[in-house]
């Protein structure tokens, strides 16, 4: 029995929408190049981001109901430079209250776009966002408390690339859409008509929403792209609600050059990398070495769980296939040195805080799923340190400029933990040193067993009425209360 048949027969409480694997396998599509807004040369006007309802064909032939930011699904790729201030005009016309959070940016709480900076339908939010940090791949998405999962799934997400003098002059591929690609990876569920589906159930509350179809930049995988001979750069965001993705190359190792918050000290070759929702990695593909290559994604990147084990595990899909053309592209060699990355200095920490992520704190998840009409609200079925997220409760107060160690642990399954307002270094992940590709600047850490520890420092203010968040980035867990708030002053 295949997964879909099983889920149908499993009946009540299970999501039965999918026929996605069939959609996925039928065709190879061209890689959609997300529209680029390149502001490196200067910013003359305010930057408009219009949140709106729309329709989008993922490749099934049917128009799904989506949200988009200036586009019918997802937002533009914004390319900006360290030292700029970004004057945003974010208008919301989705018919519901929303927010736009700048995930990964080192910015004060009042422009962070978290749950306290709500934009009502028909209104405009006009933050001036200062870019002080080093070159890094960041993103923006809805952070509307209780509805983050639903709104982000529908398309309220985009990429924000920060460049700096070093990255702009680095000997790396940087011609957008030619040898430098931005990839937004998501998993979707489609109904029998080919329309994107999102339904909450008890199972979804447990694991978060997982679709069976991989989508790249809004097109059902596999997608294909012809590239010049030479090095090709892929800047990859896992924008799934809940799914961990295992990434590898068809030929050769996967060569990682940057993580969430910036470049690694030198390229790291790995057999595969595990990417949680919210994480970003940049990789280089050597198209001199192979005529063709492909980025493969294992949808059971988290090592399985119930369904994976039941159906025999490894579900690997080609996300992007690359074919070399005769055109000469970026001519440089694989870099040996990327950035000056000092080892983390835990001895500098003056404060240690502990966070325990908790599931199912006494609420009936199945009942919740039905009652809440596809959103969690203040249901509070999940918690951190025994407290479900409350908008009017500050959980931690941090002193600006202090170096701190945060120790995060969980009761059972794997959770990706994210902190606003900073990049941090992972000291240990599940009781072990992080893999080399995750040893640089991060704002996400995996927490499954033992302690995960990060070393962080906050340099900007986050007052009581505009606190930062820390949370599980499985969006259904976050919506359900696995989130807390902290001030910095
Ligand atoms: Cu990407 Cu608080 O979020
Ligand atoms: Cu964030
Ligand atoms: Cu979680």
Residues 259/280, Cβ–Cβ less than 8 Å: yes
Q: Please indicate whether residue 116, judged by its CB atom, sits closer than 6 Å to ligand 1.
A: no
Query: Whole-angstrom Cα distance, residue 381 to residue 269?
Result: 40
438: CA distance to ligand 2 center in Å?
17
Atom 3 of ligand 1, residue of closest alpha carbon: 103
CA dihedral 146, 152, 158, 162 (to 10 degrees): 40
Q: Which ligand is nearest to the CA of 478?
A: 3
Q: Please indicate whether residue 143, judged by its CB atom, sits closer than 6 Å to ligand 1.
A: yes
Q: Return the pLDDT at 302.
A: 53
101: CA distance to ligand 1 center in Å?
7
Q: What pLDDT, in 10s, does the model give residues 237-252?
A: 999 999 999 999 999 9
Q: Please indicate whether residue 344, judged by its CB atom, sits closer than 6 Å to ligand 1.
A: no
Domains and CATH numbers, the chain: 3-25+172-328 (2.60.40.420), 31-169 (2.60.40.420), 346-488 (2.60.40.420)
Q: Please choose, from the candidates 398, 367, 371, the residue with its C-alpha nearest in 3D space to the C-alpha of residue 487.
A: 398
Average pLDDT, the chain: 90
- Banded model confidence at residue 282, pLDDT cuts 50, 70, 90: very high
> How long is the chain?
489
Q: Which two tokens stand for residue 151?
A: 């709104």
277: CA distance to ligand 1 center in Å?
10
Q: Return the pLDDT at 372.
A: 56
Q: Please indicate whether residue 418, judged by its CB atom, sits closer than 6 Å to ligand 1.
A: yes
Q: Which ligand is nearest to the CA of 158?
A: 1
Q: Please choose, from the candidates 396, 421, 418, 402, the residue with its C-alpha nearest in 3D space to the C-alpha of residue 485.
A: 396
Q: What pLDDT, in 10s, does the model give residues 203-219?
A: 777 788 999 999 999 99
Residue 419 DSSP one-character state: E
Query: Whole-angstrom Cα distance, residue 34 to residue 76?
Result: 6
Determine what percent of the chain is predicted with pLDDT higher than 70.
87
| Burial label, 19 (beta-carbon count in 10 A; 0-12, 13-18, 19+) | middle
Q: Return the pLDDT at 12.
A: 29
- Banded model confidence at residue 306, pLDDT cuts 50, 70, 90: very low
Q: Please indicate whether residue 420, judged by its CB atom, sits closer than 6 Å to ligand 1.
A: yes
Is pLDDT of 79 > 80? yes
- Banded model confidence at residue 72, pLDDT cuts 50, 70, 90: very high
Q: Return the pLDDT at 11.
A: 32
Residues 6+ apart with CB under 8 A from 381: 205, 359, 360, 361, 362, 363, 365, 368, 388, 480, 481
Q: Which ligand is nearest to the CA of 278?
A: 1
315: CA distance to ligand 2 center in Å?
29
Q: Please indicate whether residue 243, judged by its CB atom, sits closer than 6 Å to ligand 1.
A: no
Q: Please indicate whether residue 477, judged by its CB atom, sits closer than 6 Å to ligand 1.
A: no
- Of 21-30, 347-356, 382-391, which range is least confident? 21-30
- Of 66-75, 76-85, 357-366, which range is least confident? 357-366
Q: What pLDDT, in 10s, does the model give residues 377-425?
A: 555 678 899 888 899 999 999 999 999 999 999 977 899 999 999 999 9
Q: Which ligand is nearest to the CA of 383?
A: 3
Residues 275/302, Cβ–Cβ less than 8 Å: no
What residues are neighbours of ligand 3 (ion), with CB under 5 Å?
415, 472, 474, 477
Residue 74 DSSP one-character state: B
The position carrying tokens 């990327």 is 338
> In Å, what is the CA distance from 223 to each residue of 171, 313, 323?
27, 23, 11
Q: Please indicate whether residue 134, judged by its CB atom, sits closer than 6 Å to ligand 1.
A: no
Which strands sit side by side in the sheet containing 223-229, from one edge to the other?
A: 29-30, 223-229, 316-328, 292-298, 245-249, 273-275
Q: Please indicate whether residue 469, judged by its CB atom, sits closer than 6 Å to ligand 1.
A: yes
Q: Please indicate whether residue 426, judged by its CB atom, sits closer than 6 Å to ligand 1.
A: no
Q: Which residues pair with 328 in a beta bridge?
A: 229
From the CA of 278, give the closest atom in ligand 1: 1
Q: Which residues pair with 69 in a beta bridge?
A: 51
Q: Which residues pair with 317 in a beta bridge?
A: 297
**pTM here?**
0.93
Q: Which ligand is nearest to the CA of 141?
A: 1
Q: Which two tokens stand for residue 457?
A: 């420092």
Phi-psi category of residue 169: left, alpha or beta, with phi > 0 → left and psi -120 to 50 → alpha: alpha
Distance between the two ends of the chain, CA-based, in angstroms?
57
315: CA distance to ligand 3 center in Å?
22
Stated as kind and residue range, the H or E segment containing 24 is: helix 20-26
Q: Please indicate whether residue 145, judged by its CB atom, sits closer than 6 Å to ligand 1.
A: no
Residue 234 CB neighbour total at 10 angstroms = 25
420: CA distance to ligand 1 center in Å?
7
In the three-class reduction of DSSP (H, G, I as helix; E, B as strand; rest coil), residue 349 is classed as coil
Atom 1 of ligand 1, residue of closest alpha carbon: 103
Is pLDDT of 221 > 90? yes
């Amino acid at each position: 029995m295949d997964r879909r048949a099983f889920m149908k027969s499993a009946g009540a409480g299970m999501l039965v929408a999918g026929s996605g694997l069939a959609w996925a396998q039928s065709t190879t599509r061209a890689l959609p190049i997300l529209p680029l807004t390149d502001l490196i040369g200067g910013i003359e006007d305010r930057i408009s981001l219009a949140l709106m309802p729309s329709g989008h064909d993922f490749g099934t032939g049917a128009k799904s109901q989506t949200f988009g930011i200036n586009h019918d699904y997802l937002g533009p790729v914004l390319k900006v430079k360290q030292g700029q201030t970004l004057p945003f005009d974010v208008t919301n016309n989705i018919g519901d209250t929303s927010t736009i959070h700048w995930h990964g940016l080192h910015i004060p709480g009042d422009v962070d776009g978290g749950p306290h900076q709500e934009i009502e339908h028909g209104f405009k939010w006009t933050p001036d966002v200062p870019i002080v940090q080093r070159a890094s791949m960041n993103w923006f998405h809805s952070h509307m408390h209780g509805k983050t999962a639903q709104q982000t799934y529908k398309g309220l997400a985009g990429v924000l690339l920060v460049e700096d003098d070093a990255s702009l002059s680095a000997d790396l591929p940087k011609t957008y859409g030619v040898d430098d690609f931005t990839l937004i990876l998501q998993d979707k569920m489609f109904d029998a008509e080919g329309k994107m589906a999102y339904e909450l159930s008890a199972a979804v509350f447990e694991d978060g929403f997982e679709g069976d179809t991989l989508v790249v930049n809004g097109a059902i995988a596999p997608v294909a792209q012809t590239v010049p001979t030479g090095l090709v750069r892929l800047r990859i965001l896992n924008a799934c609600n809940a799914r961990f993705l295992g990434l590898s190359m068809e030929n050769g190792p996967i060569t990682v050059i940057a993580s969430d918050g910036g470049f690694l000290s030198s390229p790291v070759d790995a057999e595969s990398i595990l990417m949680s929702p919210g994480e970003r990695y940049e990789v280089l593909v050597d198209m001199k070495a192979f005529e063709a290559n492909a980025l493969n994604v294992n949808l059971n990147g988290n090592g399985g769980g119930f369904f994976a084990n039941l159906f025999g595990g490894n579900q690997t899909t080609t996300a992007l296939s690359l074919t070399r053309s005769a055109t000469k592209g970026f001519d440089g060699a694989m870099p040996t040195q990327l950035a000056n990355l000092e080892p983390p200095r835990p001895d500098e920490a003056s404060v240690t805080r502990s966070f325990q992520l908790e599931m199912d704190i006494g609420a009936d998840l199945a009942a919740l799923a039905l009652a809440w009409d596809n959103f969690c609200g203040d249901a509070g079925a999940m918690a951190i340190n025994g407290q479900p997220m409350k908008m009017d409760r500050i959980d931690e107060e941090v002193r600006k400029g202090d170096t701190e160690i945060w120790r995060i642990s969980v009761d059972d399954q794997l959770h990706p933990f994210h902190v606003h307002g900073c990049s941090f270094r992972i000291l240990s992940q599940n009781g072990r040193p992080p893999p080399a590709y995750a040893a640089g600047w991060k704002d996400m850490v995996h927490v499954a067993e033992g302690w995960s520890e990060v070393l962080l420092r906050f340099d900007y203010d986050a007052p009581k009425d505009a606190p930062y968040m820390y949370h599980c980035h499985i969006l259904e867990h976050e919506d359900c209360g696995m989130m807390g708030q902290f001030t910095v002053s």
